[in-house]
Structure 1
C-alpha cells in the first residue's frame, strides 16, 4: 500500500497476491573412520517450484521451478585430544524468493538459484579446562549471486553476477569457573569476522523477464556502477561480538553483549551519500534514502535468566539498551535498527 505522506496510515493498494512454493529435498552421506581421520562425503538434492497469483483486477499469474544436485565433502584430523583440524567443501545453493522469481504482472524472471563453492579450513581446540577457541579460514566463490529484487516490485530489477568472499573467523570463550574449579562462573566470549575480500568478479547483470525485456534501470543490461573488482555493497569488513557474563549452578545467568558492525556501502556505485548520485543531489533517487554509506555502529544488549526448577525458566532481556539510532538497510530507503526493546517472560518445558 502506498500512502501520500511518511506518516500515512491509509493509501492505495498496489499489491495483493498469493504466493506459493513447494520444496522437496533429500540427502545421503556416509562417515569413514581411519584412526585419527574422519572423512564424510555426501550429496543433496533440492527441487523447488513457485507460483504467484495477483488478486488485483487484472488477475495475472505465473510460475517457475528448478532442481539441483549438490555434492559435499568434509574431513577432520585429531592428532591430540585438545585439538581438531577440519576441512570441508560443499556446493552452495539458495533458490530465489517467489516475488523475485515471478513478478506481480505474472511475468517470470529468467533467474536461477544462487550457486557457489564454499570452503573452510580451520582448527578447534581446548588447550585447557575452561577455554575453547576456534580459528577458521573461509572462501565462498559464487558462480551466481542474486542481488536487488528484494522489494518484490517491477521497479527494482533482480540481478545476478559472480562474486568472491574470503576471510577469517575467530571465536574464543573462557569460563573461569571451570578453569579454576569455582562454583561461580564469570565468563568471556569473543567472536570476530574479518572479511578483507568481498568483491565482484563480474558485472552484475539484470535478469530479463519472460518476454525478453530488461528494466530501463539497467544501463547496458548491468546494474549501474557494477563492475569486476569492486567491493560489494552490504559487506562490512569487520564484525565483532563480545560477551561478558556470569553464571551459577543454581540456574542463574546474566550477560552483557556488545555488537560492532563496520561501515559498508549500500549500492554498487559505492556512494558516500545520496547527494553524490549522478542524477543530482535533489533528484528523486538521491532523496530516496537508497544511496549512501551505512556508518559503523555499536549495539549493547543485556540478558538474564533464572531456572526456577527443571521445567521453568524466567528471563528478562534488553536489546539496544543504550537506545542508539543507526541505519541497517537502504534497499527500501533508510531502515533504522530496532530501538530499545525490553522483553520479559518465562519458558516452561513439558
Structure 2
C-alpha cells in the first residue's frame, strides 16, 4: 500500500518550489511512516532548491519536523503507532568504525529509509537530509524518529531537529562551554541564537552576541546574550576584547560561515581558547590564515557538524528544558505558514526577516 499526500518539491535548480501530490510507501524493514504536524523552513532547504548541495533533483524539501508515527516496518521494536517524534538527519548505524569506538555522533554510515518516495509518475524524490518533511507524511529510518514528550507543541519541537540542535550543540557539545566561561557568538539567526541559549544554560558568565543587525541583536538577549556588538561599524574583535578585560573569550562560535567571520572568531578568543565553526560556508570560499598564528595562539579550532549531537540522547533533553521553561523554543517561531507559502518563506529568510517560518500541517 502507498499514500498520496501533498508535499513541497524542488523540480530544478533555482526554480520556485511547487506543491505536488507525491506517493509515500508503507514502511519496510527498519522504517517508519510519520504524519508530519509541523516543519521549520531552514537555510539548508534553500541550498537544496538552489542546487548548492547536489544536483539530484527533484528534491522533497523539509527536515526540521515533529509528528506522530503512523506505522512501523518489520524489526522496529522501540517505536509504535501514535508515538510523538522529532525527526533527525543523523541515525547512527551502530556498526561503523566511529560507532564501534563509542563516538556515534560521528557515525560514517547514518541510516535513511531504503524505499524512495516518488512523484505520481514514479520519479524518485531525493529527500532533504534524508527526511523530506514538507509533506503530510514522510518515510524515514526508524533511528531518525526520536520519541519525545508529547506535551511539546510541534511548531517548536520540530526545530530541534536541525537548527536549534546545531547551535545548541556547537556551544555545549563541540565547544564544551562550562560554568564561568566567556563566549562570543557571531551571527544571531536561528543557529546563533541556539548557541547563545546553549551557552547560557551551560553556565557561561558572559555571552556576547555579534551581528550587523540591531534587530537581531535585540532578539539575542531573549536567548541569554549578556552583551551585544554591532559589527557593521565596530571592530568586533576589539569590542569583544574590551568586554573581557582585554583577553578575549574562552569560546568563539562562528554561526555565519564566512572567511571574515571565521577570522573574527579566531582572533577574538583568549590565548588557548576554542573556535567553533557551525555556520555552513559556500563550497567556493577560501580561508587565508598565517600558520604561525595557528601555532602561537594554541587552543583548538573545531567544526561542529549537527552540533556533534546524538539525537536519541539530546533531543529529549532539549524538549525537557523547553517544557520546564529553561529553553525558549517558542522564541524561534517567527510565523506559522501553509505548504503553499514555503517559497515566500525563503524570501523572508534570505532577507533576515524571520528566525524560522514553520509549516503547520495538522
TM range (shorter): under 0.3
Larger radius of gyration: 1
TM-score (normalised: structure 1): 0.23
More helix by share: 2
